[in-house]
Structure 1
């Protein structure tokens, strides 16, 4: 039996630090990834995971439906719309390139599955810099986005509430969910299923789009919004395995 395949794009960053010591200063640069918890959870569930850090997705993210057909599900996590819209050839050389968010939307309509995971650079994000509101991929998601900074910081923690425990996207994930430390505020579409909430806002929202499926998970898949108690929770791996399986078309 062929293993199902998922593409994860994003979940990487580079920190450039200035160290000031009296009269003198120097700089250091550190590259980091936050995909390890999600990747391990999916691999443990039998998924074949392809991972494109943000700087790789800028050039290598699929530009055609045919390229996307290599995957059953695509996850976009904490990387802004410009990474997909501004291919380096377009940005530096003015070479026309496909709108990869439109290609992704069309692939979902034709039977693919997409998940957007929350963060400072997904949905609308910090200072509205993620810029997915009004983009083509918004059409394939079960939520619409605000045009402004949509973060809801919850430093004291907020406990998710399961509204549809029998929904196939989370079926089998039981017990109390650990607290999260923030999320992106979105608006669920009337046709969508609001499966889990935080406060009065959606956390997990799912729907069918054309012949495919879209799912929004509005908090993080790792720190900082998903603290150690969440990523180490025994329900973490089953949750992601189930959400990805459903989005990829399981049970259709």
Structure 2
């Protein structure tokens, strides 16, 4: 089984002010190490295209995406797919990568969107998926505007029903936040957090789409969640079900 992980990377630029003097330094970070390791241990082949490589490296056809059993979009906004350097800098038309991804799902592929500051609508609404080509295929309606629900006290997921997409007989640890969404009428909401969808799935054409509206890594996913004995099984079960390989 092979998945494509899109996103989960960032650059940090810091300004150090020390009295009269200042200097800067930059850092590049790739996230999701725990997620990738958990799936690799479950036998998955994980291909990671970090956010800044999406314009160049993401397949631009349904046939290209069909090399993967599931595509995971995590913590990278719609503009990264839409405002590629060719479009933004030189005004040259290009394929709409989000339309291609949506069509891949409709033709039998699978997609999972994972929460974060640049997922769903995101911080200050900057993720901007609510009016994107992905919105119609997701099992949840997206809010317009900042959809973050910060929960520094921790909030416990509630399993509504048994489903092959989630682990069974395990106590879920608390999470520190999530993206607020509203379940669509045809969605299967399997797990909630504060009465909002946490895990929801739906059939889309010949394929399947799902959401996990919290994080797969810090900060919304605290150490107790990453060390949870159901962590690897959650992703394995969810991606297996979405890929229609159950």
- TM tier relative to shorter chain: over 0.9
- Conserved? CA contact 1:173–1:238, under 8 Å: no
- Conserved? CA contact 1:174–1:235, under 8 Å: no
Equivalent positions of 1:1-252 (< 5 A) are: 4-165=1-162, 167-170=163-166, 172-251=167-246
Q: 1:173 to 1:34 in 2, by over 3 A?
A: farther
- Provide the secondary structure at the position in 1 that maps to 2:141: strand
- Conserved? CA contact 1:59–1:88, under 8 Å: no
In 1, Cα distance between equivalents of 2:79 and 2:227: 32
Instruction: Give the superposition deviation at 1:144.
Output: 1.2
Which string of whole-angstrom CA distances, capped at 9 and with x for unpartnered residues, describes residues 12-68 of structure 1?
111100000000000011111111011011111111110001001132112110110
Total equivalences in the alignment: 246
Which string of whole-angstrom CA distances, capped at 9 and with x for unpartnered residues, describes residues 181-237 of structure 1?
000000111001110000111100011101000000000000000011001111100
Which string of whole-angstrom CA distances, capped at 9 and with x for unpartnered residues, describes residues 82-105 of structure 1?
011112111111111111101110
Which string of whole-angstrom CA distances, capped at 9 and with x for unpartnered residues, describes residues 124-154 of structure 1?
0000000000110111111110111000000
In 2, Cα distance between equivalents of 1:177 and 1:248: 24
Q: Does 23-32 or 173-182 show the bigger shift?
A: 173-182
In 1, Cα distance between equivalents of 2:146 and 2:139: 19
Structure 2: 5+ residue stretches without partners: none
- Conserved? CA contact 1:6–1:48, under 8 Å: yes
- Provide the secondary structure at the position in 1 that maps to 2:116: coil
- Provide the secondary structure at the position in 1 that maps to 2:37: helix
Q: Give the TM-score of the pair, scaled to structure 2.
A: 0.98
In 1, Cα distance between equivalents of 2:138 and 2:94: 23
Q: Give the TM-score of the pair, scaled to structure 1.
A: 0.96
Cα RMSD (Å) of the superposition? 0.8
In 2, Cα distance between equivalents of 1:237 and 1:47: 11
- Provide the secondary structure at the position in 1 that maps to 2:131: coil
In 1, Cα distance between equivalents of 2:92 and 2:83: 10
